[in-house]
Structure 1
């Protein structure tokens, strides 16, 4: 029998097609408890959509051959009807006895016993949505379980929770309670791989995991809706997000609509108000709908409260917001807005509150002040809500503010790499304006757009002279403010000059590399930051990777935050810092920098995520992990095709070409080479030359390119002298990887000029080549291993094995070959490695990372780990993120068991 055979599918069942993921331990615990003699029931509790029904079905499937399953399903419409859900089992019971517990129990048991006798297997009563059971039915079920006549498998929402009789079983210790936790990021990645069946960009997993908050039902809805509206799309075998998630698609709308049907009219009104105005004062909502509906929604985790002293309300699941707002008609929205505004005595205090209020006003056609519109447009563009930013900017009517509004619109096009559209907007206003504020508006973005379009710094600054001329004109027209106007325009001109030369990584003729700075002291922190970034690149070209990183770190501190025009400033500086640490081979510092970008808001990761993936791919290539690098770089290219604010496509395609050549993938190599040739060159001089080196290396690796070595050497010495040891090191490292042993002597000459573990390890290998002693090659192999340069380590161990073979030392030859194989295995990431390989991998972690991984393996949450080690949750998340990358795992469930050192 099945009391649910005629019911409509529950919302959770929408995700049942997805295989059980992340619940293996819960499944085992439930099965073990039901098969044992200690427990009479298993209680599965969790939020709506967390996967209770899916796990319930999995448990039943495991036990199906040994039990007689009988399903009962709670119903919200029958919660107040005694024994209502038992109707199909007690149809023969006379009406006058329908309220008698003894009569119901006797009739119900009679039907169950008939089924048990037919199957000759113990009874298992399966109760879904048990939170909707009436107390009388719950009492009957408990009687059966306590008497040993049947066992119970119960699924219930955490709130409002189980009826008291069922909960009492747990209090008495005869029921196993399993609280289902949200999916981890690694489990989300597994679901995406199963659902999409192809390579998924890591930032897609991160964004979907955060948006769904680990809820499988919401995740399933987000995936379906994103695929249907083209937000989630596949390009060249890679799944990526083309824009921020739209959270009001059909699947999510259906989920939210079902949730609303369970709420009272007052609760629905409270939910709508919070969705339209969040974050909104709790006092304000309670004054509108009353305290009780708000309290119920908080208890049922539909809305949450921010801490005192000014409690504000937000939706518990943020992705419900767009869906709820989309379900409200404009007329109803306007009515709700007016009811709330009557009680408000001030504007929202937070930027987010302002953005929500302005957006709400525009949605229902209400008038908004121009300055509020402009503030909202700026904020929306900073959050990459481009459509909202353009809409707000377009409504600005004040001519004095329209220039700033158009600048914001240009920025939204810059967000998506549509530089031509941004240029057309900015060119119309450049060097115009009746006030110095208007004159300077958008000028930095104008210069950045010109650089992105490939104009040289000299050309840009020549055209920027119009700004100085406009400033002089404005000063003549306003003599009382003339000095201030001239000072402001000259300062902006100097900042623009520093910026475009920093973007290009080139010094102006008036301040050559030996000067180390541009002309005169910097006029403001922004100009100082760009000068430091340029100095960092000069040091990088000279091989001073550690000093280069220090300079750009100073730039990050000097720049500060809040630069509305140059929203990409922090990412620009992080990219320069990452180039320095990758050149030097400080992989841990690189991962820390990249994790910082990856921890940004979802839309930020869509715009800058391609650069993060590209950096990971270049690290893998330098480490000798060509196959992994090929996948990472290929995926990064697909992301960069959509948005490339750092202009990294050329260097990424060149490195992808080199990786494809390394693994002999000629067809892929040809595609990447075509991509490189079609792309505008990288803005940075260092990256332009590095790209050319990677292409030359790839051509030589593929064969039939006899001049490759000479070309690489020439690229490392662009001035024909030894003034660029950093570039020369990169070129000689490529030569050495191609088997050019003659490069070793020049590398040793450069060694005193070079910094960083990568240069030190490769120079150790060069020194071993110069002596050609097997013992030196062994030492060099260990040095390269310590630097995680598995390709060079394998070359060194191979040379050692050849030396020992020539000397007839078979034992040491085998040892060297074994070490070579280990390095090749690490480079190729062979699956199913032995425990020794896992131990080696754990040796890559820092002490703090080992401590955190050990606690994670024990099952502690991020918050618990933070409390245990007295660090912040963000620190725990960052260390785990880096540990996953180092151990080549996707999440906690794949971590090897360890204990703290």
Structure 2
């Protein structure tokens, strides 16, 4: 179904000012730290336009103001040739600065600092109260000023913070400060994805869907100024709306609003005609080989663009040229006159196409031809449309596929449209288009092109398993029919269609949880070879390995499952062979394996890989990132941290949920909310659907977390019974990992009843998580406080916080009962470290530990007062005087307090009192 975004801001609301956050705190602290060191006399800051150098310099000036004299200078091209011209406005002496000698200028500068000197009291620690000169755009000052500043820095009269633009050089001799060892260099970098997300949230003063922040951050290439303009334009134009409390950007939004256009056109002002021509070519066809461009336009034009930092040669693409920022391309292409675009295409496309462009360049150049109204080969349109959909440029994919008219490509064109609809979350429309494509298929390539996507779309719709098994049977029959008309290739056609049908059956068996039965067909696929259809067979092998990863993960071998997933990811494929989302499907299985193994390092690396290397997939698959991150936190016992992540995931998955993770995400959110006492009244009550519309192991986890949430909420044993029922069913099927998951949640409610079974199953499951579980179960019934503490420390090191907490609680209680003060201290310290890691308060954990050994009675108010004073070190006499009671009364209250708390002496009070 298509999900509608929430209502956007009204016209009046859009008129309010957005927040413009400062995003260079780390760099600010680094500059302050460097300038505070005696050996560092200058910091030279390199930055591209829009990365925040000027704002950073202003922040340093504000921090230094009141602590030392500060002189701010801004270089400008108009004064760059006038001796001391940039200093004129700061000096009181009359007459032109150009007529003064360097000695006079030094005297004037020192006098200026002397007039504004104040006591140094803080942020920039310099015992000599050294003045600070802040110089912005140091490439645009005159040489005498540069020489003056270098002299003042070298003799220790001032410290210097100077910024300059990447690709330029500071005026000599400023660079010599670094070569002489008295200056530090720093370079501002674009915001990382995480920083970009935080920037979006701060600017919009609320939660932002991760896929939406990625969309805007990637369009700006992490440039804070461009990102702020993209957000502002989108907000003003109504392309940002709120859904369930989170900001959502229109995924089809192009960053070419009025403010962004104004900035980009300002940067392009005064280009030569030749450079404008070269710029248009790069924008219309990027990436473009530098050698090819030099054949078309002059070398001087290219050098002008490079010098102005409008284009660059990325280090990861040797010999290629791109615009300095993707947002520039969107603006230039949107505002380039149609006639000029058409003329350039007619004149130059043959030379550009001769370089065998990569998928991105092919897509760009195909759109260039189509938008210019020029005839375009249907095969190229199909190829470009396929690339567009895999890059999640869904509107572009629809546009390209709709332009195809050749009957021999219509079947695959419908598949491209279906993938675009799938990306948008309109699974019913995708199925309709794929069914039409299947009827149009006249050859094996057409027949195989959309079949995998059909299976996924029907699963996303929740259609019965029977429909997917029927698709596999129909494919076998269709392949046999095609083979009748292919004399020389009939055996290979039957073979490859039979293998594809087996793959479809495997995907459906995954939804049923028939993991034991999947072994044989997986082995058959991996052992086969298909010379005539090698590319399709290779695709089948990748899927078979992904299925093997899922199968092994469920059967108690998640580490082996992770190895299988990595083998699948290592295989390369021809991207225009199919419209299926193969990389995303494999990455999801690798995430599952890492999570079930408890390999947090691998799980985090996979999440980072998805976020960076597969960024465009965030538009459709971004919700699964939050599901994985939330599950890591829950497996570690970090419920409070998991809850906001999972709530964000719910919003993402309501927009697009191709692998049907919404049920699991909601169940985990309800579990985390119930477990932390933050029941979310807006979340729907979850009842496991049983629709088999996702991986079976995902469905079982959904049911398990739903049952645990019910037990937290109702506390009547109903949820616990449900967990044991799931564990029993998993045991019958041989699904050891799923049995262990259900038991882990059950043990959280009743460790004594299920600990033996928990330990027995854990011993059969691979991975650090099962190993930690074995440690937990082994010591639980030991009654040895010291062994429990040692086990707790092992669990804490493995980041299995919830089990570490329970073990420390028990160790603390036992150590108090046996008066082992050193063990109690270690247990209390362990609880504090658990609390710090999970975001809970340390006293909460200690109080829970004490409750199992203290008397049923609660301390009276007077007992609590006396106990607190005694714990702080006050003597009985001091307490008696402070409270106005007798020493005997104090002693009596303390005696009763020790009995209630299960301790023997006042030295142990500090252990048990919060």
Shorter-chain TM-score tier: 0.7 to 0.9
Matched, 1:221 2:225: no
2:662 corresponds in structure 1 to 649
TM-superposition CA deviations, 1:98-125 (whole Å, max 9, x none): 8x94279999999989988986889987
1:781 corresponds in structure 2 to 792
Q: 1:396 aligns with which of 386, 404, 410?
A: 404
Report the secondary structure of 2:164's partner residue: strand
1:543 corresponds in structure 2 to 556
Report the secondary structure of 1:313's partner residue: strand
TM-superposition CA deviations, 1:553-580 (whole Å, max 9, x none): 5555578664743542232233223323
Matches within 5 A, 1:392-541: 392-476=400-484, 482-506=490-514, 512=517, 524-541=537-554
Aligned length: 806
Cα distance change on mapping 1:332 and 1:626 into 2, 3 Å: same
Distance 1:247 1:218 in 2: 9
Matched, 1:167 2:167: no
Distance 2:794 2:39 in 1: 58
1:23 corresponds in structure 2 to 27
Greater shift, 741-750 or 84-93, is seen at 84-93
Cα distance, 1:382 vs. partner? 1.6
Cα distance change on mapping 1:722 and 1:613 into 2, 3 Å: closer
Matched, 1:330 2:338: yes
Cα distance, 1:406 vs. partner? 1.2
Matched, 1:102 2:110: no
For normalisation by structure 2, the TM-score amounts to 0.77
Cα distance, 1:314 vs. partner? 1.8
Matches within 5 A, 1:750-769: 750-769=761-780
Q: 1:717 aligns with which of 728, 736, 746?
A: 728
Q: 2:188 aligns with which of 181, 188, 194?
A: 181
1:632 corresponds in structure 2 to 645
Cα distance, 1:715 vs. partner? 1.4
Report the secondary structure of 2:729's partner residue: coil
Cα distance change on mapping 1:222 and 1:193 into 2, 3 Å: same
Report the secondary structure of 2:326's partner residue: coil
Task: Give the conservation status (yes or no) of the 8 Å contact 1:45–1:177.
Answer: no
Task: Give the conservation status (yes or no) of the 8 Å contact 1:582–1:619.
Answer: yes
Q: 1:791 aligns with which of 784, 790, 802?
A: 802
Matched, 1:746 2:752: no
Q: 2:704 aligns with which of 693, 699, 708?
A: 693
Task: Give the conservation status (yes or no) of the 8 Å contact 2:43–2:184.
Answer: yes
Task: Give the conservation status (yes or no) of the 8 Å contact 1:46–1:180.
Answer: yes
1:879 corresponds in structure 2 to none
Q: 2:311 aligns with which of 279, 303, 307?
A: 303
2:837 corresponds in structure 1 to 826
Cα distance, 1:389 vs. partner? 1.3
Cα distance change on mapping 1:804 and 1:45 into 2, 3 Å: closer
Cα distance, 1:791 vs. partner? 0.9
Cα distance change on mapping 1:781 and 1:115 into 2, 3 Å: closer
Task: Give the conservation status (yes or no) of the 8 Å contact 1:546–1:756.
Answer: yes
Task: Give the conservation status (yes or no) of the 8 Å contact 1:241–1:606.
Answer: no
Distance 1:383 1:239 in 2: 23
Task: Give the conservation status (yes or no) of the 8 Å contact 2:815–2:823.
Answer: yes
Distance 2:34 2:618 in 1: 39
Cα distance, 1:297 vs. partner? 2.6
Cα distance change on mapping 1:294 and 1:74 into 2, 3 Å: same
Task: Give the conservation status (yes or no) of the 8 Å contact 2:214–2:618.
Answer: no
Greater shift, 809-818 or 700-709, is seen at 809-818
TM-superposition CA deviations, 1:84-139 (whole Å, max 9, x none): 76887999999xxx8x9427999999998998898688998765444344567767
Distance 2:382 2:231 in 1: 34
Cα distance change on mapping 1:160 and 1:551 into 2, 3 Å: closer
Task: Give the conservation status (yes or no) of the 8 Å contact 1:347–1:354.
Answer: no
Report the secondary structure of 2:309's partner residue: coil
Distance 2:151 2:810 in 1: 77
1:877 corresponds in structure 2 to none
Report the secondary structure of 1:705's partner residue: coil
Distance 2:240 2:222 in 1: 18
Q: 2:302 aligns with which of 294, 298, 301?
A: 294
Distance 1:811 1:302 in 2: 66
Cα distance, 1:427 vs. partner? 1.5
1:847 corresponds in structure 2 to none
2:888 corresponds in structure 1 to none
Q: Which runs of 5+ in 1 are unaligned?
A: 1-13, 833-901
Cα distance change on mapping 1:624 and 1:241 into 2, 3 Å: farther
Cα distance change on mapping 1:107 and 1:252 into 2, 3 Å: farther
Q: 1:380 aligns with which of 363, 368, 388?
A: 388
Cα distance change on mapping 1:431 and 1:487 into 2, 3 Å: farther
Matched, 1:56 2:57: yes
Task: Give the conservation status (yes or no) of the 8 Å contact 2:233–2:259.
Answer: yes
TM-superposition CA deviations, 1:192-232 (whole Å, max 9, x none): 45434444566666676665455432333344345445666
Cα distance change on mapping 1:805 and 1:50 into 2, 3 Å: closer
Greater shift, 552-561 or 708-717, is seen at 552-561
Cα distance change on mapping 1:576 and 1:478 into 2, 3 Å: closer
Greater shift, 22-31 or 691-700, is seen at 22-31
TM-superposition CA deviations, 1:314-335 (whole Å, max 9, x none): 2233332212222312122222
TM-superposition CA deviations, 1:236-282 (whole Å, max 9, x none): 44456553773323333222111111533333332222222222233
TM-superposition CA deviations, 1:630-672 (whole Å, max 9, x none): 1221122222222222211111111111111110112x1x444
Report the secondary structure of 1:689's partner residue: helix
Matches within 5 A, 1:844-863: none
Distance 1:19 1:305 in 2: 27
Task: Give the conservation status (yes or no) of the 8 Å contact 1:27–1:58.
Answer: no
Matches within 5 A, 1:855-874: none
1:894 corresponds in structure 2 to none
Task: Give the conservation status (yes or no) of the 8 Å contact 1:230–1:242.
Answer: no
Q: Which runs of 5+ in 2 are unaligned?
A: 1-17, 119-129, 530-536, 844-914
Q: What is the aligned-residue RMSD (CA, Å)?
A: 4.3
Task: Give the conservation status (yes or no) of the 8 Å contact 1:432–1:470.
Answer: no
Report the secondary structure of 1:247's partner residue: coil
Report the secondary structure of 1:365's partner residue: coil
Cα distance change on mapping 1:348 and 1:104 into 2, 3 Å: farther
Q: 2:601 aligns with which of 574, 588, 596?
A: 588
Task: Give the conservation status (yes or no) of the 8 Å contact 1:101–1:140.
Answer: no
Report the secondary structure of 1:314's partner residue: strand
Greater shift, 375-384 or 359-368, is seen at 359-368
1:708 corresponds in structure 2 to 719
Matched, 1:801 2:798: no
Cα distance change on mapping 1:746 and 1:361 into 2, 3 Å: same
Greater shift, 400-409 or 101-110, is seen at 101-110
Matches within 5 A, 1:70-81: 73-76=74-77
Greater shift, 377-386 or 562-571, is seen at 562-571
Distance 1:594 1:775 in 2: 38
Report the secondary structure of 1:788's partner residue: coil
Cα distance change on mapping 1:753 and 1:17 into 2, 3 Å: closer
Matched, 1:665 2:669: no
Distance 2:34 2:542 in 1: 59
Cα distance, 1:615 vs. partner? 0.9
TM-superposition CA deviations, 1:693-733 (whole Å, max 9, x none): 11111110123433222221111222784744433222221
Distance 1:578 1:548 in 2: 10
Report the secondary structure of 2:25's partner residue: coil
Q: 2:748 aligns with which of 737, 760, 766?
A: 737
